[in-house]
Amino acid sequence: MSLKQIIVFLVFALLSTYTAFLNPHDSVVHITQNYSLKLPTILLLLGSILIGVVVAGFLIWTFNFRKVLVRWKAGFKNERIEKKNRKAEALFQTGKNLFVCGKTDRAIIEKVLDMSPEHVGALDLMGRTLNAMDKYEQAEIFYEKALALDPQNIHALYGLAHTYSKTDRQSEEIALLQKIQRMNPGTAGPVLRLRDIYVQQKDWKKVCPLQKKVLPLLRDKNEEWEKERANLGQFFFKLGEQYLRENYRDAAIATFKEALRASEKCLPAYLSLGDVYLESGKQKHALKIWQTGFQKTGHHACLVRSQIAIRDSENYQELLRTYEESLETSEERSLLVLLLSTFYLEHGLEEKARQLLQSNAPEYPLLHSLLLENSRHAGNRNRGERFDLTRNAIFALARQT
């Protein structure tokens, strides 16, 4: 009994006692017309209190028993549902594990959905299973059911986007990926998939901004960041090529420079930027770009471009120094010997060409011997078709390596 109940009881008891002292006479209680009881007032009051307490206790017990019965029924029902859900979840995990291991078992997932039709994970897994079986229309139905129950389920959203990609519904796929990106702004996955779509479409104007968004999201992954940084340079180069085809030369130059800022080892950007400068009559700018390209990439194509550009010029000393300095550290020494020899021969330095060829073992014997033969014809700068063919073959080899 609570303190509040005790206090109330004492108050009523005191009140009854007080009333009894004020009314010492007996109280008559009529049971029927002919039968009555005479009771002291105090007993009548105490009896009334007792009867009230008993009735109240009985009513409280009745209501509590009803609540206990309802809770028991709900608990029993919940236990059955929980047991059913545990069984469905166990089956779902089995189906999921099988799918990850490369086995598509629809029967298990169908059992899960029979037991729990609103199991979002099972609906998504059924969609993935049907996608793997090339049943894209059926897969779409299950993905839509999953998203109706959980509109922000990332697995179902990605799965539906994949279904759209397989059914050539790129506009819907793009819209869905954009939605995923808005929901998860700090993730690179949706941006990369959007980028890949635009790469397939060769829409470089959309590819480049997306690629720039990717890099900050990968700063904690050094290897991937470096790879995507190099990709950014390549995408800017592609955009620059597009501007060239559209005769926007200034835009092309700016974009090639952007490619080199993104990736200092973007060889195509060095080559194309130098070509644009050369076509614009800016030979010094072109030579400087190609020299920088060779320093950053070590690719001989930059040297070949420079060599061709100054073939009929007397200002070849700087390129000559670059050739000779590179010869000491180059891993492709045999190829560099051939290139430097052609350079010597183009500028009338047959003796240097002959000494260089004779002092180095040939890795390309035929080209080596043809150049050595040309070096023995001192003073003849116009050696004819044989030298041109040999030189072109060496240049082609240099561009490939």
Whole-prediction pTM value?
0.71
pLDDT per residue as tens digits for the range 343-376: 888 888 888 888 888 888 888 888 888 888 887 7
| pLDDT value, residue 235 | 96
Q: Cβ atoms within 10 A of the Cβ of 230, count?
A: 15
Residue pair 256/236 in contact (Cβ under 8 Å)? The answer is: yes
Helix (H) or strand (E) holding 312: none
How high is the mean pLDDT of the chain? 83
269 pLDDT above the threshold of 90: yes
pLDDT at 213: 92
> How much is the pLDDT for 321?
84
E strands within 4-140? 26-30, 36-40
Q: At what angle do helices 106-115 and 41-100 cross, to 10 degrees?
A: 170
Contact 303, 323 (CB under 8 A): yes
Q: CA 299, 305, 307 angle in degrees (round to 5)?
A: 105
For residues 104 and 172, what is the distance between their CA atoms, to the nearest angstrom? Answer: 27
Selection from 9-18, 107-116, 235-244 with the highest mean pLDDT: 235-244
- pLDDT value, residue 290: 93
Q: Residue 38 phi/psi, 5° resolution? A: -105, 120
Top-confidence range, 5-9, 15-19, 58-62, 162-166: 162-166
Quick check: 380 pLDDT over 70?
no
* Residue 245 identity: R
Per-residue pLDDT tens over the stretch 138-174: 999 999 999 999 998 999 999 999 999 998 898 999 9
* Alpha-carbon span 286 to 280, nearest angstrom: 10
Question: Are the C-beta atoms of 327 and 339 separated by less than 8 Å?
Answer: no
